[in-house]
Each structure stands twice: as C-alpha cells, then as structure tokens.
Amino acid sequence: MKAAALALLLATTAPVQAITVSWDFTATPNPVEAGSLVTFRLTPTLGLPDPGYYAPGLDGGFYITSFDSFGHQTYLTAYGVGEWSFFYPDPGSFLASYTVGGYITQAQFCAPWACPLRHTSYSYGGSTAVVVVPGPIVGAGLPGLLLAGASLFTFLRRKRN
C-alpha cells in the first residue's frame, strides 16, 4: 500500500514535458521517370517518455492527409509506417505535402488501477519535392545504335566510292 502511494506521489510531482515525435517523409525513387509510380513513406520516431512514464506509443495509429501540386490527394490511417503511391505521367517538379495527427499514449510506473494512461494529442505537417524527368527516348537502345552504325557505314562507303 505504501509503495503504491509513493509511486502515485512521485508520478503526480514529476515535471511534465512534451514527448516528441519526429517524422521522416521520403519519396522513392526521386527523381523518377515520367510514367512511373512514386512511393511516399512517412515514418514516426518517438522521443523519450515523460518522467515517471514508460512505453510511449501512437494510440490507434496516425491519420494522414497527403496531397501534391499535381492534384493527387489521399487520406489514410497508418500503424507504425504510412505508405502510399502516386502516378506521375508528366515531367516537372512537384511538391508533395502531408499533415498528420493522432494521440501519443504513455503508461505510468504504478498500480494499473491507480494510474490512467496519459494521452497527448499532436499534429504535424511537412513536405518533400518530387522531381519527374522525361522517360527514355524510343529507339535509343540497341536497335537505335545498330541503325546509327549502319547509317555511318553506308555514308563512309559512299564517300569512298
């Protein structure tokens, strides 16, 4: 009984700090050829829990709204990692953005019936640029090389005669 009271006292007197979440937002591949899919990946990293707490986690995942300057938009709920793909048919530079929100939960070091979980809401946003380059030129591979070589051979042969 004394241990539970001491744990409750320590938990209520411990200073409260804001737990941090950082987000890694990547686009793969980047740059990408026109006519290809770009996969976006949003990965959270949780900071240290508040004093007297442990096991921080994203409660129920996180809610993502993503969009880009090309006109794509998506809404999804992710657990652990958010991943989605967009199709880019035209060359150019596009800005892909996201907003994300949800709750962080933490548990206290005390008796389960005496200490509720702490829920902290969060909302973040960010962006990354996607560069779309033109795709390969038709005929620039082996057939095009053979045609160029045959044309050069014919030209040199005519020039010699």
pLDDT in tens, 14-43: 445 567 788 888 888 888 888 888 888 888
Cα–Cα distance for residue pair 77/18, rounded to 1 Å: 23
Distance CA 128, CA 19 (A): 25
| Integer Cα distance of 48 and 19 in angstroms | 6
What mean pLDDT is predicted for residues 84-104?
A: 86
User: Is residue 12 packed enough to be buried (19+ CB in 10 Å), middle (13-18) or exposed (0-12)?
Assistant: exposed
Q: For 2-136, CATH number?
A: 2.60.40.10
Mean pLDDT of all residues in 42-60: 83
Question: In terms of DSSP bridges, do strands 53-68 and 73-78 run parallel, antiparallel, or are they unpaired?
Answer: antiparallel
